Structure 1
Amino acid sequence: MSSSSSVPIFGILLLIVLFFALLAAVGFMLTYELGRTAKLTRRLDLVTHGGQEELPEQGAPPGALLLRVISAFGMGVARSGLLSRKTLAQMTATLEGIGFKGGKGLGLFIGAKILLALISPVITFIVAQHAFGMSGMWLIIATAAGAIGGMLAPETIATNIRTKHLEKVAAGVPDALDMLVICSDAGLALEAGIGRVAQEIAGLNPALAMELQQTSHELQIGSDMRHAMDSLGDRTGLDTLKRLATTLAQSLQYGTPLTQALRTLSAELRAEALVKFEERAGRLPTLMTMPMILFILPCVFLVVAGPAIINVMATLHGQK
């Protein structure tokens, strides 16, 4: 009995270990490629602003060749026309949200999805057959679930990172607008004000600073203000930044005071944030109902009715 029950437990543990090993492999691939992108960006900033940095000479890590092969295979699939332009655009936007700018990492992302889609069903098939003793329809379902899970794993990881990034960006927009108002009152132009805000807010909100810095770079290379702000809203997909782009475009088109428009938009965003907090606080009693029923009320009943139940049981036992 004990030996037969230990086999499924061992199979579950083995499946969990293999699943997290696959996730760790994908995380290593994305982290390594993202580190290369960050190092290249830092070197470009050094060249742009002057200065030198002594970088230690490091050899390629053991998995560098494998990463290049996977990336090349993924880029071949992307260029073959098997994926639609909309799908490639969504993947590029997701990767840009976690730090891969200019389409970098797209090949690695696609290659990792295909690699995991091929490896995961094989591992799931072996584990399900030998550890769980599955056969027939259940074995087919487990294998298909492994293939789907392996294909969705990289996208799930990247989407979670992008969601957290956008939440940080949205949380810092009101503060950035207040700082932009101060820059406008001080006499800075809008282009210089955006760059200054990106520089000052980097320690408080690096995610928003990165987005504003990219917008500042677009303005420095001669991009139109309206186009740059629309690009900021489209790149992040946040309603607050889209409203900021619309506000700035209307101020430039009709000549309305920019400072007053930014101050009004900042007040509206803070009021909306306060309303959202009040809504969450209003839902709190409803969310606390089930935990109270499951964990608090049984303890209360035990404390209140426990002595009476013990006395009744003792009385009945004495009568017998």
Structure 2
Amino acid sequence: MEIALLFAAAFTVFCISALVMAPVLLRPDAEARRIQFVVATERPDRRHITQKERLEEGVLMLSRGLRERLGISLSAGLQKRLTLAGIRTASAPDIFFAAQCLLPLLGAFLASFIDGNTWFWIFALGVVGYASPNVWLTETIRRRRERIRRSLPDTIDLLVICVDAGLGMDQALLRVSKELAMSHGDMQDELMRVQLEQQAGRPRMEAWQHLAERVKLTEITAFVSMLNQTERFGTPIVRALSRFSADLRLKRKQHAEEAAAKTKIKIIFPLVFCIFPCLFIVLLAPAVLSIASSLNSAAK
């Protein structure tokens, strides 16, 4: 009994001594304290997750699970179309699939409240809900291509200035992409991707060719072909870029003149179907009413 008490007392003294000496023995050295001071922050370790983020994550998990159970794989065409629209997040295909699943259900649910031809409206709104994501994606791709087309002359002018100032093509590309960040975000995104591909070890012309394949614009394809010929035959890049920029602006002016000339024909239909009937009513209605009144009085 006495041995047990002595052992317990010794163990207690050892624990107390260890607790007292632990801060001294386990104290980090000067280098570790300096690193802790550098990385120290007053922000909480865990970020607060909002209810919206939780809902989005739940919808994505449900969409991903449904797609895997049905055995539907992500098509390369959808990935390519999302890339053309400038959407490159990893969750974009799942969000698109969730929209294609939920919007028809939402349309059918709203159509169930319509009195008369309920099944027709359920089918119609379901089809509209299913086709809406594809229509939205197609329109997004078209608008992005149009923004890139409009930003191309300014981009080439900046390239001419940078190359004429003595920068190489790669340095000029990096400088121009920084300058376009505020005004032409889509073009800046594509140029930065070309720069990243070159930094990853891809040849320059192959990276530019990938740009032409991604955007699929006639102007971009012609620009890449011009760069390829310039590099192959040793033509001065400044002269080629200046001439190409002048041709682009000329085509832009011709396109604007063509659109202005088409308005003369397009305005005929609103005039005939909207404005002329109103003019006829305003001009002929008093005469018609006067003739009708005269005929009524004559008949009496």
Q: What TM-score do you get using the length of structure 2 for normalisation? A: 0.73
Q: 1:72, 1:108 within 8 Å by CA — same for their partners in 2?
A: no
Shift of 1:172: 0.7
Q: Give, as a single letter, the amino acid of the residue that structure 2 aligns with 1:152.
A: A
Aligned to 2:50: 61
Aligned to 1:93: 80
- Which one of 242, 252, 265 corresponds to residue 273 of structure 1? 252
**Residue 107, structure 1, aligned to residue 90, structure 2:** no
Q: 1:78, 1:110 within 8 Å by CA — same for their partners in 2?
A: no
SS in 2 for 1:181: helix
Which stretches in structure 1 are left out of the alignment for 5+ residues?
Answer: 1-53
Aligned to 2:235: 256
- Which one of 250, 275, 279 corresponds to residue 296 of structure 1? 275
Aligned to 1:71: 60
Aligned to 2:14: none
**Residue 215, structure 1, aligned to residue 201, structure 2:** no
Change over 3 Å in CA distance of 1:161–1:68 after alignment to 2 = same
Shift of 1:303: 4.3
- Which one of 146, 151, 161 corresponds to residue 140 of structure 2? 161
Shift of 1:278: 2.2
Summarize the alignment of residues 1-320 of structure 1 with structure 2, pairs less than 5 Å apart: 58-75=47-64, 77=67, 82-83=72-73, 88-101=75-88, 103-117=90-104, 119-120=105-106, 122-123=108-109, 127-128=111-112, 131-134=114-117, 139=119, 141-319=120-298, 320=300
Shift of 1:277: 1.8
- Tell which deviates more after alignment, 174-183 or 266-275: 266-275
Shift of 1:189: 0.8
Change over 3 Å in CA distance of 1:303–1:100 after alignment to 2 = closer
Q: 2:85, 2:141 within 8 Å by CA — same for their partners in 1?
A: yes
Distance 1:306 1:171 in 2: 50
Runs (4+) of structure 1 exceeding 6 A deviation are: 54-57, 78-81
- Tell which deviates more after alignment, 147-156 or 176-185: 147-156
Q: 1:181, 1:263 within 8 Å by CA — same for their partners in 2?
A: yes
Shift of 1:186: 0.8
Distance 1:283 1:71 in 2: 47
Deviations 1:69-106 (CA, angstroms, capped at 9, x unpaired): 443455563798634xxx72222233234443265422
Distance 2:127 2:285 in 1: 51
Shift of 1:190: 0.8
Shift of 1:252: 1.0
Q: 1:96, 1:102 within 8 Å by CA — same for their partners in 2?
A: no
Aligned to 2:11: none
Where relative contact order (Cα < 8 A, 6+ residues apart) is larger, the structure is 1
Which stretches in structure 2 are left out of the alignment for 5+ residues?
Answer: 1-41
- Tell which deviates more after alignment, 166-175 or 202-211: 202-211
Change over 3 Å in CA distance of 1:89–1:303 after alignment to 2 = same
- Tell which deviates more after alignment, 248-257 or 293-302: 293-302
Distance 1:75 1:187 in 2: 51
Change over 3 Å in CA distance of 1:282–1:187 after alignment to 2 = same
Aligned to 1:43: none
Q: 1:73, 1:107 within 8 Å by CA — same for their partners in 2?
A: no
Distance 1:252 1:153 in 2: 45
Q: 1:71, 1:109 within 8 Å by CA — same for their partners in 2?
A: no
SS in 1 for 2:75: helix
Give the structure with higher Rg (CA): 2
- Tell which deviates more after alignment, 141-150 or 73-82: 73-82
Q: 1:98, 1:158 within 8 Å by CA — same for their partners in 2?
A: yes
SS in 2 for 1:223: coil
Distance 1:178 1:146 in 2: 48
Change over 3 Å in CA distance of 1:102–1:67 after alignment to 2 = closer
Change over 3 Å in CA distance of 1:58–1:81 after alignment to 2 = same
